[in-house]
Homo-oligomer: A and B are copies of this chain.
């Protein structure tokens, strides 16, 4: 069919097969709602054992693309977006890993009073001076753009900026280590909003995609804002799972 299906691919066989199947799903060869070929059919087509086919199908099921049912077959339940991957976070910790302050390619550093849109996340401290960082945040492999990140740093800690070049952990940890000011609590807000032109360009997504903006405000024990991070995730790649406490749902 397409040239991408004929040539020899790198990586394990099951990955080649799952990639091919995912490609066909995205292409419409296997429509949403339709059944995939049976495992034995796939064995024959790709000339591999059933074990390897099952590994490929298992990964597709894990990615939420297909649903497997004993006796019935594997049904396509979702077509992958053109980006081609589905990122699902299963816990808050994964969100933090996912959006950790690591692998941040800093493109721009400025200082002064943040413009109005950014000032909104600063509340009553909007008029003060801040150190502003903007850049693209990449995944652990350093390749895939995860989100467009803006970090506002209280100017009292401006001296840490030169250390960003060798930063391996979260920025707030750098502040804690250097200044002994401990983060007391973190407020997080999630909202959806139109994506900025800059973020869309950096992330390689259409401006028709909405951004999921995750704002985290780090405060010390006296309620002073130490750090604010604003991450614009492409809406088509954002998913955030958590388990709710029993007593929390009391009012639901």
Q: Does A8 contact B (CB under 8 A)?
A: no
Q: Does A159 contact B (CB under 8 A)?
A: no
Q: A7-31: contact bitstring with B at CB < 8 Å (1 yes, 0 no)?
A: 0000000000000000000000000
Which residue of B84, B209, B240 is within 8 Å of A191 (Cβ)? B240
The contact size tier of chain A is 35 or more
Q: Does A164 contact B (CB under 8 A)?
A: no
Report the nearest B residue to A187, measured CB to CB. B243
In the assembled complex, which residues on chain B have CB atoms less than 8 Å from the CB atom of A96?
A: 248-249, 251-252
In the assembled complex, which residues on chain B have CB atoms less than 8 Å from the CB atom of A170?
A: 252
In the assembled complex, which residues on chain B have CB atoms less than 8 Å from the CB atom of A244?
A: 87, 92, 185-188, 216
Binds B, one of A41-49, A74-82, A136-144: A74-82
- In chain A between 199 and 252, which residues have their CB closer than 8 angstroms to a CB of chain B? 208-210, 212, 216, 235-236, 238-252
A87 touches B245 (CB 8 A): yes
Show 24 A/B contacts (Cβ-Cβ < 8 Å), sorted by A: A33-B116, A64-B120, A67-B116, A69-B127, A72-B127, A75-B119, A77-B116, A77-B119, A78-B117, A82-B243, A83-B91, A87-B244, A96-B248, A96-B251, A99-B252, A172-B252, A187-B241, A188-B242, A189-B242, A190-B239, A192-B192, A192-B212, A208-B208, A212-B212
Q: Does A174 contact B (CB under 8 A)?
A: no
New A-B pairs, 5, CB < 8 Å, besides A78-B117, A87-B248, A187-B243: A33-B115, A64-B90, A72-B127, A87-B244, A185-B244
Which residue of B101, B243, B252 is within 8 Å of A185 (Cβ)? B243
A236 touches B187 (CB 8 A): no
Copies of the chain in the assembly:
2
Task: Give A235 Cβ to nearest chain B Cβ, in Å.
Answer: 3
Task: Give A213 Cβ to nearest chain B Cβ, in Å.
Answer: 9
In the assembled complex, which residues on chain B have CB atoms less than 8 Å from the CB atom of A33?
A: 115-116
Q: A115-145: contact bitstring with B at CB < 8 Å (1 yes, 0 no)?
A: 1110110000011000000000000000000
Q: Does A5 contact B (CB under 8 A)?
A: no
Q: Enumerate chain A interface residues (CB-CB to B < 8 A).
A: 32-33, 64, 67, 69, 72, 75-78, 82-93, 96-97, 99-101, 115-117, 119-120, 126-127, 170, 172, 183-193, 208-210, 212, 216, 235-236, 238-252
A210 touches B186 (CB 8 A): no
Task: Give A218 Cβ to nearest chain B Cβ, in Å.
Answer: 9
